[in-house]
Amino acid sequence: MNSQFPELVPRLESYATIKTWRERHGRYRMQGSRCKKCNEIWFPSRDALICPKCQSREFIPYECARTGEVLTVQHEIMGYPAMGYGELSPRKIVMIKLDDGVTIISEVVDCAAEEVKPGTKVKMAFRKHKREENGCWMYGYKFVLNK
Amino acid sequence: MQKPNFKKVVLASAAVSGPERSVLGLGYRQFIMKTVLEALDKAKLTVKDVEVGSISYNERNITEGALGCVMADALGMVPIPFVSISQACAGGAICSDIIWNYLVSGRYKIGIVLGLNKPDNFDFRDAMGPIGNYCDYDFMLGFTHENYGHLRSEWYKQKYNYTDSVAAKWAWQCHWYARRNPMALANSGPMPTDEQLNDPGPAGYRARTATGRNMASCLVFVTEDVAEKLKIEPTYFNVSYAHRPVYIGNHFGYTGDERFAPYDMAEQPAIKIAAEEAYKIAGITADKIDIAQVHDLSSYDGMMALEWLGIVPPGQGGKFTAEGHTSIEGKCPTNTDGGAIAFAHSSAGGDFSSKIYENWLQLTGKAGERQVKNPKVTVAQAYGTHHSLDVVGILKK
């Protein structure tokens, strides 16, 4: 900690900065893959992997729908927060069915706990995730209410 | 169903470490010795009799690699083959599957499966906590294994219209067994009250959910002819495992395999796939199961496991629990070792092997006050990394 980074920076088990850079498209824009052969959508991206449905290896980038509906919510009551996320506790962690059918896990922010329940409409927002090993903030998708 | 004609593999003996959350004075190599020697001694074998070994461990708390080499050396077993597996918490089943195949093939006759969990070897909160299934994004979001488990529980409750009262009932039953198991962490003291178990806050959540412990385990497998020579009462072992997509969002309507497509996070088709193969090899059906040990990091995980092992229909696990059928007098006594609440989440060290150990005690009449009457067929189920790995082992007379 110092005047530039006043809060605790968890450093244990940090990933290399290069990894967070490699994965920026998925984290920034929820970019997955669409199989060029069978047209199936995959999130997270399967770029350079194999399509489980048709075994093709040809994909094009696919940006998931940015709106959806909460399937289920966990109001975090485990008794302790994940290391480095204490100031966000208690978090509202959710499974979301996006409007294009993709299901993801994320967090709903900027609202009261009682506003988040199954069926709540949400939209993607760009928020801080955690510190990189070099101390910089890493950003990515979270969700807010879609009123 | 045609039973495949494999040679039979016998569990000759088993041992697990004592009920300690932490063993600060011993390194992991020293910690596992007593358990290995105890298991071998029970089978009237020595380290020099062992022909092949495997060890399941969790690389998040034992960060040294090459554990197979390390254990072969530590046990004075070099040059025998020794395989190390760090593949999620149910890795003991994969080790068992490897040894099973060695014995069935006829290549070896005596093999051991070790399990090792030593969270006091590394920073538990950081190493075990904030690493989710899919590290590319979920780790950055700070999601932990507990978040996954809790979300799955909430979805199960929502889907089948249950309340936490069924989890409280499951937890109470586990405590009942634990009070009768000297190897369980919660083997003494008063039983928790309904008020404690139904508390909607963090205290209630913790009362209904797995704790953690250090664990060393050892299973000794032999071929049938060796068991006969050793005059061991045979308990026959079979095992199978299956995988599910790693990203938890893909537990909803996964289209990569038709066996997963109709299901969601409250349903566990990989358990079914593993169970069907294990039952086929063992020549049993689900209705023959007398005792089940299932992986209940949350109580609802235990209920889901009973459903997808075929013991109860999907969605009926909560009802089955509430009606008391997991008790010692119930239709299927379940988690008679106290489950993860009392026997703990021991990760790769024992999440599978400790269940086989308990079933072995039950089948050989050594389960003391929690002994089920005359069991013949038992099942052990465990999962790793939130059903990315599902394992099923059968132990029967």
Lowest mean pLDDT among B72-81, B86-95, B140-149: B140-149
Indicate whether A2 belongs to any domain: no
Give one DSSP letter per residue of B360-390, joined into a string. Answer: HHHHTT--GGGPPSS--EEEEEEEETTTTEE
**A78 and chain B: CB distance < 8 Å anywhere?**
yes
Q: What is the C-alpha separation between B326 and B330, in angstroms, rounded? A: 5
- Are A48 and A106 in the same domain? no
Indicate whether A6 belongs to any domain: no
Q: What is the pLDDT of residues B108-167, one digit of tens each?
A: 999 999 999 887 876 655 544 545 566 678 888 888 888 899 999 999 999 999 999 999
- Are A15 and A47 in the same domain? no
Mean pLDDT of B261-280: 97
Q: What is the C-alpha separation between A77 and A56, in angstroms, rounded? A: 43
Mean pLDDT of B33-61: 94
Percentage of the residues of chain A whose pLDDT score is greater than 90: 65
- CA B20 vs. chain centroid, Å, equals 18
Give one DSSP letter per residue of A78-92, joined into a string. Answer: SSSPPTT-GGGPSPE
User: pLDDT at position B207, please?
Assistant: 86
Residue, of B215 and A13, whose pLDDT is higher: B215
Structural element, H or E, at residue A60: strand A59-63
From B123, which residue of chain A is nearest by alpha-carbon distance? A12
- Which sign does the torsion angle of CA B184, B56, B205, B267 carry? negative
User: pLDDT at position B128, please?
Assistant: 46
Predicted-complex ipTM score: 0.92
Reply yes or no on whether the pLDDT at B270 is more than 80: yes
Question: Per mean pLDDT, which of A111-125, B125-139, B338-352 is the most reliable?
Answer: A111-125
Indicate whether A95 belongs to any domain: yes
Q: Which of A44, A53, A106 sits opposite B255 (nearest CB)?
A: A53
- Are A124 and A82 in the same domain? yes
**A34 and chain B: CB distance < 8 Å anywhere?**
no
Instruction: Note whether B217 and B349 are within 8 A (CB).
Output: yes
User: pLDDT at position B322, please?
Assistant: 98
Contact B255 A88 (CB under 8 A): no
Indicate whether A47 belongs to any domain: yes
- To the nearest 10°, report the CA torsion of B257, B258, B262, B267: -60
Q: What is the C-alpha separation between A140 and B326, in angstroms, rounded? A: 44
Question: What mean pLDDT is reported for chain A?
Answer: 88
**A39 and chain B: CB distance < 8 Å anywhere?**
no
Q: What is the C-alpha separation between A63 and A30, in angstroms, rounded? A: 6
Indicate whether A116 belongs to any domain: yes
**A100 and chain B: CB distance < 8 Å anywhere?**
no
User: pLDDT at position B337, please?
Assistant: 95
Indicate whether A81 belongs to any domain: yes
Chain B CB contacts of A8 below 8 Å:
none
- Are A81 and A36 in the same domain? no
- Are A43 and A113 in the same domain? no
Indicate whether A39 belongs to any domain: yes
Q: Which of A47, A91, A95, A133 to mutate to test the interface with B (most CBs of B within 10 A)?
A: A95
Q: What is the pLDDT of residues B366-394, one digit of tens each?
A: 999 999 999 999 999 999 988 999 999 99
- Are A121 and A73 in the same domain? yes
Domain with residue A111: its CATH number is: 2.40.50
Q: Which of B140, B150, B250 sits opposite A74 (nearest CB)?
A: B150
- Are A17 and A86 in the same domain? yes
Contact A95 B202 (CB under 8 A): no
- Are A59 and A115 in the same domain? no
Residue, of B122 and B80, whose pLDDT is higher: B80
Reply yes or no on whether the pLDDT at B71 is more than 90: yes
Reply yes or no on whether the pLDDT at A14 is more than 90: no
Q: What is the pLDDT of residues A119-141, one digit of tens each?
A: 999 999 999 988 776 778 889 99
User: pLDDT at position A137, please?
Assistant: 84
- Are A113 and A130 in the same domain? yes
Q: What is the C-alpha separation between B282 and B277, in angstroms, rounded? A: 9
Contact B140 A118 (CB under 8 A): no
Indicate whether A5 belongs to any domain: no
**Cβ neighbours for B177, distance < 8 A, ≥ 6 positions apart:** B184, B328, B335, B336, B337, B338, B339, B342, B370
- Are A104 and A117 in the same domain? yes
Mean pLDDT of A81-95: 80
- Are A126 and A72 in the same domain? yes
Which residues make beta-bridge pairs with B113?
A: B54, B219
Domain assignment of residue A90, given as a range: 11-22+66-147
Angle among Cα B217, B220, B223 to the nearest 5 degrees reads 160
What is the maximal distance between C-alpha atoms in chain A?
A: 54
**A54 and chain B: CB distance < 8 Å anywhere?**
no
- Are A107 and A41 in the same domain? no
Q: What is the pLDDT of residues A18-66, one digit of tens each?
A: 888 899 999 999 999 999 999 999 999 999 999 999 999 999 999 999 9
Contact B138 A105 (CB under 8 A): yes
Contact A78 B131 (CB under 8 A): no
Contact B140 A138 (CB under 8 A): yes
Which residues make beta-bridge pairs with B377?
A: B396
Copy the structure tokens of residue B4: 């495949």
Q: Which of A51, A78, A104 sits opposite B205 (nearest CB)?
A: A78
Pairs of CB atoms within 8 A across A/B = 120
Q: Which of A17, A70, A78 to mutate to test the interface with B (most CBs of B within 10 A)?
A: A78
Reply yes or no on whether the pLDDT at B288 is more than 80: yes
Domains in chain A, number:
2
Chain A CB contacts of B199 below 8 Å:
none
